[in-house]
Structure 1
Amino acid sequence: MSHFEHTSLGAAGLPADLDEAAHRCLVAGFDGATSVPDPLKELVDRGLGGVILFTRNIRDARQVRRLTDELRAIRPDVIVAIDNEGGGIGHLVAAGAPDVPGSYALGVVDDPNLTARCADALAAHLAGLGITAAYAPVADLRHRPDNPIVRTRSFGVDPELAARHLRAWITATEARGIASCAKHFPGHGGTVTDSHLGMAVDPRPYDALGVDLEPFRAAVDAGVPMLMSAHVVFPALDPNRPATLSRRILGDLLRHDLGFDGVLVSDALEMKAIADEYGEAAGARIALAAGADQVIVAVCDLNVTLHCRDAVLDALRTGVLAEERIQEAAGRVRLLAGRYATPPTSDPAGWDADAGIEAARRAVRSRGVPPAVRGAHVVDLFPPPHPGLNWGGEDLLSEMRAADPTATGTAVTGECADPDSLVEGIVRRCGAAPLVVATCDAGLHPWQVRLRDALSVRRPDAVRVDTGLPEGGVLCSYGRGRVNLRAVAEVLAGL
């Protein structure tokens, strides 16, 4: 008799244990917040390794806890995860997330104890919601000023600085019983393309890439239980495939050279770097064969996840994907679930609610404090929210008005059809009041440079502020999280 005749078969015609193992290798997103849809219930019941939540799944804290409880009622060891980097990248604003300023501001302050306090607050909040895995912190180094995606999500360009803050973040998160995940291996900071929008390539030679591995090496040494791969091609490492799909990078470099034995999870497969070049289903199969343990299908349409699942099962049936590889991956996921799937039973309260604003203030004031400009007209120029990330509605004008009720302002979130009329209207509304012009990543968005310069010609006394990376302003927030902007507003208002 064959092995199949001796073994109970799952719904896909594979041995039940192999069907369950294949499902362990998937992390799924979904639409809705009030209940778990039936297709997701089936996936969880068959062994789904993880569920990733987004803003679309969040209404308030009580609703999130009901949702995570419902998921675990179906299968107690399903991991519930979320992107939770702090700063302007987060999905839990409506659920009362702690305000922390994001990694770059923390790197500017360079106080690992303060970073640990911020990470502890984020992790404690997750524990109270029943979310037990955070796809953070970012370990990418910010090499290029024209990199469109890492920017203030990074701790900085110095690998030793990034390493000490990664250790602080991971250790604090682990102490709360929450799984952390350093990303995006082996680094996304040397590219000029956002992998959400297309295939990113890092053209640097082999010897230049070693510096990017140091933060990941520090994360591994700190016991990080998960790493996330980058959809980036490194010709010096593997000229044919992005890291997510590369056996050389995931196997030889990560497993052998860095000695990582935790769960390696892919970045989301619907990102265009994978979806447009390979397709999500082929991406899932190739990533798992290359050494990934889990693949994320974050899109809300569960049909895409089912298509990826079916491609993996078909590859197992035909022998294209080795059973041993899936069982190895599923084994790592089971170990992760054994440590983190059940929310901590200790009281998650008691985090330091002031850590985030302290960090933001210290970052903003690190280069000195200019004279206050009370009653100013604030022009806030910033790009439209990134479609693949989250914007919680934070804006400089709201924070400025809270700090100085006499302030007025104009927000501009994209290139306008008639910039001359816009400038004329701003100057007229401002009148004799002080003018503040804030830009965010103006080097990537020339329309901001044009408006800023046109306003400076009309008002040479205008105060320049940067709300992304430093670009010559007298103040820099180092990010657009709520506390980043609040700290800038306080300085402008003289508080």
Structure 2
Amino acid sequence: MLALRRWATDRRSRARDVRIFLSIGLVVMALAMIDGCARVRPNPDDLARLQPALAALLLVGFNGVDVDGNRELERLLCEARVGGVLIFARNIVDPAQLRRLTRGIGDRALACAGRRPLIAVDGEGGRIMRLSPRVGFPPTLSHRELGEDNDFAETELEARRIGGILRDVGIDWNLAPVVDVGYNPANPVIVGHGRSFGANPRLVAAHARAYVTGMRAAGIRTTLKHFPGHGSSATDSHLGFVDVSDTANAEIELLPYRALIAEGLADSIMTAHVFNRRLDRRYPATLSRATITGLLRETLGFGGPVVSDDLRMGAIDQHYGLGDAAVLAARAGVDVLLVAEDALPDGRSATAVVIEALREALADGRVTITRIDEALARMRQFSVTRGAAARPPLGSAANPGRRAGYS
């Protein structure tokens, strides 16, 4: 009987997945027809207007712990004029130094480019926390620890505390929370690192809701990741190709996104470099129009900025050139192209490679003026809208409804 019930449950789950995938079928077909049309070369005036602004779509990591004498930062901030910079452990000595660094970045960019870039970090908590005790910051709780405690108030307070730490050192964008549902216990990159709130999608959504509420109370922008889900994978996309075609469960993995988008709690969303042939037979999610424009935009109704995961990760880098990957991601609907380290092994600048590839794609019509205008508009809006305290929805820490006793 148990085996029969499991078979019936699996069958119902597969049927629900089929319905979800069929629901984007018409959108995918329309996108394919558009891709098949002749390229339209842009008006020269539009091309001249947009080319200098392309770097505003980049979020880039750099080397060094100071602005003074840092040629790489000078190039990113003043010559390329990137939209954001990403802080890693390699950039941190201690809290006082990090404050000086972020203040220097903002001041230098304002002086030479007329605007301050966004300053982002992976500040999930626990193991994935660049501002760690090793460099003088207090310890923080991982998503797994918060999910195991299963206390929404604790999750919101911890997020507010982390957000306060970030704001204190001049960081305004946290690439968190992770809303991957950790239902594969052998998953190495999400479950293995304690990055999932749990295996129950409703619990994940509820804790993510509390986490975003806490971050907003601290004035920090957030990012839900990794869309459309990395929790089922058996391998790590940092290291190479990841195929979730036979393990992904759309009903489970999309539930947190569906809920938080509907509640207005999705500031931005980061993609996963996972391949799912049921969504796209050719490209992984980050490069897939069917997944980004079809599923995330059209089906789930997300209107904010979509951020790629690092385009230099193995799942992308081993199969696509950096420039080609950037163009494919932009075509797919990604607004912010993340490159974790600007310095390439051959000495070139990753930022320069991406910008040149986008310029060529704009000039020959592979990427449209409309697509870039949309991305720039989303980034402008995101840049001027700081995380703000909002009335917490039902189920948040401040208005918990019932505790997470989900079946």
Quickly name the TM-score band, shorter chain normalised. 0.7 to 0.9
Aligned mates of 1:298, 1:61 — CA distance in 2: 21
Aligned to 1:168: 210
Aligned mates of 2:247, 2:142 — CA distance in 1: 30
Aligned to 2:139: 99
Among residues 85, 88, 93, which one is paired with 2:124 in the alignment? 85
How much does 1:125 deviate?
Answer: 0.6
Aligned to 2:74: 41
How much does 1:148 deviate?
Answer: 1.1
Q: Deviations over 1:160-203 (max 9, x none)?
A: 10010000000110121110101000100111110000111112
Normalized against structure 2, the TM-score is what?
0.78
**Matched position secondary structure for 2:383:** helix
Aligned mates of 2:139, 2:305 — CA distance in 1: 28
Aligned to 2:351: 305
Unaligned runs of 5+ in 2: 1-41, 389-407
* Contact 1:21–1:327 (8 Å) recurs in 2: no
Most deviating of 256-265 and 20-29: 20-29
Q: Is 1:217 the counterpart of 2:250 in the alignment? A: no
**Matched position secondary structure for 2:282:** strand
How much does 1:222 deviate?
Answer: 4.2
Note the 1:94-133 alignment, pairs <5 A.
Answer: 94-133=134-173
Normalized against structure 1, the TM-score is what?
0.64
Aligned mates of 1:55, 1:205 — CA distance in 2: 33
Q: Deviations over 1:76-119 (max 9, x none)?
A: 33100000111111111255433222001111111010000110
**Matched position secondary structure for 1:261:** coil
Among residues 59, 64, 84, which one is paired with 1:32 in the alignment? 64
Aligned mates of 1:72, 1:238 — CA distance in 2: 40
* Contact 1:293–1:333 (8 Å) recurs in 2: yes
Q: Is 1:295 the counterpart of 2:327 in the alignment? A: no
Aligned mates of 2:137, 2:337 — CA distance in 1: 26
Aligned to 1:382: none
Among residues 73, 94, 99, which one is paired with 1:65 in the alignment? 99
| Amino acid aligned to 1:79 | L
* Contact 1:166–1:218 (8 Å) recurs in 2: no
Among residues 368, 373, 379, which one is paired with 1:333 in the alignment? 379
Aligned to 1:18: 50
Q: State which structure, 1 or 2, has the greater radius of gyration over its C-alpha atoms.
A: 1
| Amino acid aligned to 1:70 | G
Aligned to 1:374: none
* Contact 1:266–1:296 (8 Å) recurs in 2: yes
| Amino acid aligned to 2:89 | T
Q: How many residues align?
A: 332
Note the 1:278-427 alignment, pairs <5 A.
Answer: 278-301=320-343, 303-340=349-386
* Contact 2:183–2:200 (8 Å) recurs in 1: no
* Contact 1:170–1:219 (8 Å) recurs in 2: no
* Change over 3 Å in CA distance of 1:298–1:205 after alignment to 2: closer
Aligned mates of 2:183, 2:283 — CA distance in 1: 22
* Change over 3 Å in CA distance of 1:265–1:245 after alignment to 2: same
Q: Deviations over 1:340-359 (max 9, x none)?
A: 39xx9xxxxxxxxxxxxxxx
| Amino acid aligned to 1:81 | A
| Amino acid aligned to 1:106 | L
Q: Is 1:134 the counterpart of 2:198 in the alignment? A: no
How much does 1:50 deviate?
Answer: 0.9
Q: Deviations over 1:407-466 (max 9, x none)?
A: xxxxxxxxxxxxxxxxxxxxxxxxxxxxxxxxxxxxxxxxxxxxxxxxxxxxxxxxxxxx
How much does 1:279 deviate?
Answer: 1.9
How much does 1:39 deviate?
Answer: 4.1
| Amino acid aligned to 1:246 | S
* Contact 2:232–2:247 (8 Å) recurs in 1: no
**Matched position secondary structure for 2:362:** helix
Unaligned runs of 5+ in 1: 8-13, 345-495
How much does 1:218 deviate?
Answer: 2.6
Most deviating of 155-164 and 294-303: 294-303
Note the 1:260-275 alignment, pairs <5 A.
Answer: 260-275=302-317
How much does 1:47 deviate?
Answer: 3.6
Q: Deviations over 1:351-406 (max 9, x none)?
A: xxxxxxxxxxxxxxxxxxxxxxxxxxxxxxxxxxxxxxxxxxxxxxxxxxxxxxxx
Aligned mates of 2:55, 2:130 — CA distance in 1: 25
How much does 1:3 deviate?
Answer: 5.6
**Matched position secondary structure for 1:200:** coil
Q: Deviations over 1:119-165 (max 9, x none)?
A: 01110011011100011110001121221111110001101100100
Aligned to 1:51: 85
Aligned to 2:5: none
Aligned mates of 1:68, 1:287 — CA distance in 2: 28
* Change over 3 Å in CA distance of 1:61–1:245 after alignment to 2: same
| Amino acid aligned to 2:51 | D
Aligned to 1:252: 294
Aligned mates of 1:291, 1:3 — CA distance in 2: 21
**Matched position secondary structure for 1:228:** strand
How much does 1:204 deviate?
Answer: 3.2
